[in-house]
A and B are shown apart, each in its own frame.
Chain A
Amino acid sequence: MPDSKLDLLQGTLDLMVLQTLDVLGPLHGYGIARRIEQLSENEVLLNQGTIYASLVRLQQRGWIAAQWGVSDNNRKAKFYSITRAGKRRMKDDRTQWERLAAAMGRILAVSSDPGKP
């Protein structure tokens, strides 16, 4: 099972988290993990716990902020939100990522190996 997950490039998960927070606003760890699972159709996260290493890294860089709060159903949880620096970063990373993906797509399209798509 784990073998079938995508190996993530360094920083990819960070971009996903930033994107998620940008779109959905403040969210707790479970919410972020759930959202990424849903959109990536379970292709990315090995398990939900791995999200936290990414969250602490983003916090230390000042791209997201964290605050303890209370959820809809009255549960104490830490809520993460994207900062202005984080938004800038996301935009940069996103451009970078789109260029890379486009380039990869072009290169793989002319692949001569019939065994792989």
Chain B
Amino acid sequence: MSAVRQSCARFLSIFRKQRLDREFDDEARAHIAFATEDYMRRGMPLAQAQRFARVKFGSVEAAKDAERDSRGLPWLEGFFYDLRFAVRALQRDRGFTFAAIAMLALAIGLNVTVFTVMNAMLFRGFPLVKANDRLLYMQERFPSGLCCISYADFETWRSQARSFSGMAFVGGRPIVLADSNGGNRTDTFATTVTANTFQLLGVQPVAGRDFLPADDAPGARPVAILGYRFWESRFAKRADIAGQTIYIDNAPATVVGVMPEGFDFTEQLNLWLPLAHPPNLNQRGPAFLPGGHLAFGRLRDGVTVEEARTELAAISRRLEDTFPAANRGVAPRVDTWSQFFVGPDAPVVYGSLWVAAWFVLLIACANMANLTLARTVGRRHEFSTKVALGASRWRMVSQILGESLTLATVAGMLGWWIAKWSVRTWAVATASSFQILDYTVDSGTLAYLVAISVGAAALISVAPIGSVLQLRAGKGNTHGVTQDRHGNRIGAVLIAGQMALAIVLLSGAGVLARALLNIVGAKTGVRDPQNILIGSLRLPSWKYSTAAARLDYFNRLETELEAIPGVRQESLSSTIPVNSGSLRTLEVEGRPPAPGGGESAPFLTVASDYFRVMGAPALSGRVFDGRDRSGGFPVAIVNQSFATRFWPGGQALGKRLRATDRNAPGEWRTVVGVVPNIMQGDPTRQQFKPLVYLPFHQGSPQSAWFLLRTGVPPDRVAPVVRAEVQKLDRSVPLEDFGTLKASFGFQRDRMDLEHAELGKNAAVAPIFAGIALLLAGIGLYAVIAHRISQRTNEIGVRMAIGAAAQDIRGMVFRDGMIPVVMGMILGLAASLAVNRVLQSQLVGVSPHDPATLAGATAILVLVALLACHIPARRATKVDPAVALRHD
């Protein structure tokens, strides 16, 4: 007890130093006065009594020191003193301090940003959801490659799987929403869920109630739970929202609750409806329904992900045996949150980004270590004087630590600000309504920041502390050549390390960037896409309820668009090039169906003139024209890939094929034309897939794209097009309006899971590499410049005895480039190993792409030469007369 009390008292006394010192002075004065009086009482004269009293007391200062030591914490006070000293020393050396803090703050900020992003991508999961890491997301893999999961199979899983404490099913459907009076109709999308969904997620509504099992029963009274954003925008957050009636698809439904702010599941949509499983959901086999169905379950305590996977696989095998027709070859896909929503390679993608951020931080630390080392060597005089005066080694170590900690603290605070800003920027720049991420910066993030800042301070201090510990009293006053050599050797090692890290980053960023370019710059088969204007239109279902009404709208649209001056050709299609098209199973006449559900190919519907707009005239046969209307002869056009795949060497024209959706065969269609390949259905754009085109007017499209090839720059036509579309019907919103070329950029939402994050990665990695290169360049420059200033004397002598400027320059370059080259060799070897990790992300480029490695090397050498050039030029300008006097 008393020991704790004493520690507290000691600690507190540090902050009352002045008052306690004053009190001690008073006490000592009183003491001496008492003693003097005592001596006088014994008959001494005043002067002698005073002298005796003082002698008896001893040294007041010594007593005061002893008193201070036993009252406070001398080591801590010493450290505070060192911190104050550090701040003063750093204030004197402004340039150093500014550069050091800026570098470290940037590196720390970057690191914390990547940490936050990685955390969000790999671990956080949905905002507000309890224990995200215990949730698994499930779909089925159908042999035809179709989506997603059959409800009947889900029910079997739910009733048989022991690994889960609960399982829920999530789907979605387009709905027409209207106010209680039937007005304000809008087309929107609703997420449909089983009633246990929110309870399984552990999220409560903020108003009203959760779904009840009764809401989910077939024929139950329709109810809805609103998203917070929707409650705000459409209902102005009215408090009595629970119990209000809204109209969904012309039928009244009761709003029973509102979910909390920031809660989105599984996409950013307006409202949730009970699944109320309609009978058609009970069919087994591929369930291609809009909205992307999935099931999710919460693992029972103690059950591992692998155990759950094994169990579901076993259940699925039993289903295969029981329902061979529908379930043959159907396997469950069981993913964690990050595997499902970010991609199977998320740990690789974001792990490597994190490693890259660490590389940048290490480079910054190496720079700081080099700068601090240079300063310490420059301050040898100060340190050796201190040693001579009896300062302990510990005090000098503490002084260096004090400086590093001061720098790291300021840099950490700036880094925090940088991180908050860049996380926000990242979140905005990469926002997608299909990917809900939790980028909260919280106390855990702060703890991480503090830890890496302190770690950085420690890293920075190691080299200078080593050099100070080598000091001996009195030795530093002479110019210790050995000392310089030692410092230089550490410096060279640090430079080599920086260069190695930089080249690993450069080559990694290089192959990622090339992969991105290979996607974005891939051949699409479209001529001059920069001259094609596109826009997407979705007809309100409540307004255009029949196929005739919809086709009528599109006919009128075509007439209007065609008439716009500057428009050469126009057409309509179900989707635009590079997008996926809708994948359907198909049957080719005279070809036995492949085992396990047949072939599949993307189907597109296109109007006449489509291939003229694309600049891809038919290779044989004809393209669609006015004959191909509804009720007309069922025809199809295939692309070259399709023709060679299904009728190799033969004549495609006149052959027949049909779509076989959900085991229900469609009508046979005769192939009337073969067209050149246009990119479609391969997210990485490396392969021309077999495609089937159907006539636009033989379908009943709810939505479509228009495509206009213009004879003048598209931006001159664009305003007229927008005006015409609005004039035709204001209730049809025009979306994604722009040139086709612009739409060819990287879009996450149309990539496959493996490459979905490539866009972010390939954009961020070069930034990291650039920063790393810049920091390494600055570091090299600083070290060379410092070494030159150290050797001014020597250079002066050399020049005085006849060395040419060229010799001096050669000397400087040799000095700088040797560690650079060593680091480069090391770095190249490391890249060969490290880049292999990126393999799964790459498209059309090898992880060891020689051109990229060569490019990275060239850039690094260039930067290093530049970093050496500036100090070298300065060295050759040295005036021997001045240099010889330099000390």
Contact = CB atoms under 8 A, between A and B. Distances in A.
A34 interface: yes
Contact of B27 (A46, A54, A78): A78
A28 B38 CA distance: 14
Nearest to B71: A56
B34 A63 contact: no
A97 interface: no
B31 A30 contact: yes
B5 A52 contact: no
Contacts of A57: 6, 70-71
Contact of A31 (B5, B13, B34, B63): B34
A78 B26 CA distance: 9
B35 A48 contact: yes
B6 A61 contact: yes
B30 A75 contact: yes
Contact of B10 (A28, A60, A77): A60
Interface string A2-30: 00000000000000000000000000111
A34 B70 CA distance: 22
Given A30-B34, A73-B37, A46 B63 contact: no
B791 to A, nearest CB: 53
Interface string B1-42: 011011001100100000000011011101101110110000
Interface in B51-98: 55-60, 62-63, 66-67, 69-71
Contacts of B6: 57, 60-61
B482 to A, nearest CB: 44
B629 to A, nearest CB: 100
Q: Which of B31, B38, B60, B69 gathers the greatest number of chain A CB atoms within 10 Å?
A: B31
A56 B5 CA distance: 13
A48 B58 contact: yes
A71 to B, nearest CB: 7
A78 B59 CA distance: 20
A75 B34 contact: yes
A47 B58 contact: yes
Contact of B58 (A34, A50, A61): A50
Contact of A29 (B2, B5, B27): B27
A63 B31 contact: no
A20 to B, nearest CB: 15
A47 B70 contact: no
Contacts, number: 86
B56 A28 contact: no
Given A30-B35, A62-B2, A76-B30, A52 B24 contact: yes
A33 to B, nearest CB: 8
Nearest to B61: A49
Contact of B31 (A48, A56, A61): A48
Contacts of B2: 61-63, 85
Interface in A37-70: 46-50, 52-54, 56-57, 59-63
Given A48-B56, A49-B60, A63-B2, A56 B67 contact: yes
Contact of A49 (B10, B57, B71): B57
B33 A75 contact: yes
Nearest to B37: A73
Interface residues of A, number: 28
Contacts of A28: 30-31, 34
A14 to B, nearest CB: 11
Contacts of A75: 30, 33-34
A91 to B, nearest CB: 15
A62 B9 CA distance: 10
Interface in B583-600: none
Interface centre among A47, A49, A53, A62 (most CB of B within 10 A): A49
Contact of B59 (A33, A49, A60): A49
B520 to A, nearest CB: 72
A60 B63 contact: no
Nearest to A56: B71
Interface in B636-656: none
A33 B63 CA distance: 13
A46 B58 contact: yes
A46 B59 CA distance: 11
B748 to A, nearest CB: 64
B820 to A, nearest CB: 59
Contacts of B67: 52-53, 56
B30 A62 contact: no
B39 to A, nearest CB: 11
Contacts of B10: 60
Contacts of A53: 63, 66-67, 69-70
B63 A52 contact: yes
A98 to B, nearest CB: 22
Nearest to B9: A60
Contacts of B58: 46-50
B62 A77 contact: no
Interface in A59-108: 59-63, 71, 73, 75-78, 85
A28 B9 CA distance: 22
B699 to A, nearest CB: 90
A57 B6 CA distance: 8
A12 B31 CA distance: 22
Nearest to A33: B31
Contacts of A85: 2
A73 B41 CA distance: 13
Nearest to B30: A77
A65 B780 CA distance: 63
A56 B67 CA distance: 7
Contacts of B60: 49
A52 B34 contact: no
Nearest to A57: B70
A56 B55 CA distance: 22
Contacts of A29: 27, 30-31
B25 to A, nearest CB: 11
Given A48-B56, A61-B5, A30 B30 contact: yes
A60 B30 contact: no
B639 to A, nearest CB: 90
A69 to B, nearest CB: 11
A54 B62 CA distance: 14
A48 B57 contact: yes
A31 B27 CA distance: 12
A79 to B, nearest CB: 10
A57 B2 CA distance: 11
A28 B35 CA distance: 12
Contacts of B34: 28, 30-31, 71, 75, 77
A54 B26 CA distance: 17
Contact of A60 (B33, B57, B71): B71
A42 B636 CA distance: 120
B10 to A, nearest CB: 6
B62 A52 contact: no
9 contacts: A30-B34, A49-B31, A49-B60, A53-B66, A53-B67, A53-B70, A54-B70, A60-B13, A61-B6
9 shortest A-B CB distances, which residue pairs? A47-B58, A49-B63, A60-B9, A30-B34, A53-B66, A49-B58, A61-B2, A77-B30, A53-B70
Given A49-B28, A57-B6, 11 more contacts: A29-B27, A29-B30, A48-B35, A49-B60, A50-B66, A52-B28, A54-B70, A57-B71, A61-B6, A62-B2, A75-B34
